[in-house]
Amino acid sequence: MSRPVALAGAAALLLVALATAPAAHAAGQVQVKWIDPDKFADAGRGAFERERTLDALAEHLKGLGRQLPDGQTLSIEVTDLELAGELEPFGRFHQDVRVLRGRADWPRISLRYSLTDGTRTLARGDADLSDPNYLYRSLRSTRTGALAYEKRMLDDWVATLVAAPKP
């Protein structure tokens, strides 16, 4: 078989594969708004850390939009945030370190939400998320690093919200 014929055959196979492949799953979207974050119980020490924390959590929530069916929008207004652990001075220069003890230092998030499909409201309400057993539940291997416990708590909440029967 000559080279031009082989390339034409490969191109034809690629076109057939693309035409018969299932369509990519379209996802909904998540919109996040922080209500008066300067007054949050604990979003980190200082403006820089607070901004970094809020950006990371907003990105994580927006990524959870892939769990929503196409056309649905989850709008979230976060009214309070308390990160897992407590900040304590550490070392010679007393730099703050977040210490996780598994006592009364669990993550908490208070929010208002609305789940819509176009102009139709599917769910709406207030939610006070918390995970008192955050240190005693295992983390998935992909869910490690900064804000792992807060992200897991949000994952669980969005999964429950998506699975709830809609009116």
**In the chain, alpha helices (H):** 3-20, 46-63, 148-163
pTM over 0.85: no
CA–CA gap between residue 32 and residue 95 (Å, rounded): 31
CA–CA gap between residue 78 and residue 92 (Å, rounded): 36
Contact 151, 131 (CB under 8 A): no
- For the chain, give the percent of residues with pLDDT over 90: 50
According to the model, what pLDDT value does residue 126 have? 98
Comparison of pLDDT for 152 and 140, the residue scoring more: 152
pLDDT tier for residue 123 given thresholds of 50, 70 and 90:
very high
According to the model, what pLDDT value does residue 3 have? 52
The 10s digit of each residue's pLDDT in 91-108 is 666 667 665 666 778 899
pLDDT tier for residue 88 given thresholds of 50, 70 and 90:
low
Q: Please choose, from the candidates 132, 136, 129, the residue with its C-alpha nearest in 3D space to the C-alpha of residue 153.
A: 129
According to the model, what pLDDT value does residue 15 have? 44
pLDDT tier for residue 121 given thresholds of 50, 70 and 90:
very high
Taking the CB of residue 109, how many other CB atoms lie within 10 A of it? 22
According to the model, what pLDDT value does residue 51 have? 95
Instruction: Name the phi and psi angles at 140, rounded to 5.
Output: -65, 155
Q: In the predicted model, is pLDDT for residue 5 greater than 60?
A: no
- For the chain, give the percent of residues with pLDDT over 70: 70
Spatial strand order in the sheet of 108-117 = 29-34, 72-82, 108-117, 120-130
CA–CA gap between residue 77 and residue 54 (Å, rounded): 12
Mean pLDDT (whole number) for 124-131: 96
CA–CA gap between residue 162 and residue 13 (Å, rounded): 38
CA–CA gap between residue 75 and residue 72 (Å, rounded): 10
The 10s digit of each residue's pLDDT in 14-28 is 444 444 444 445 689
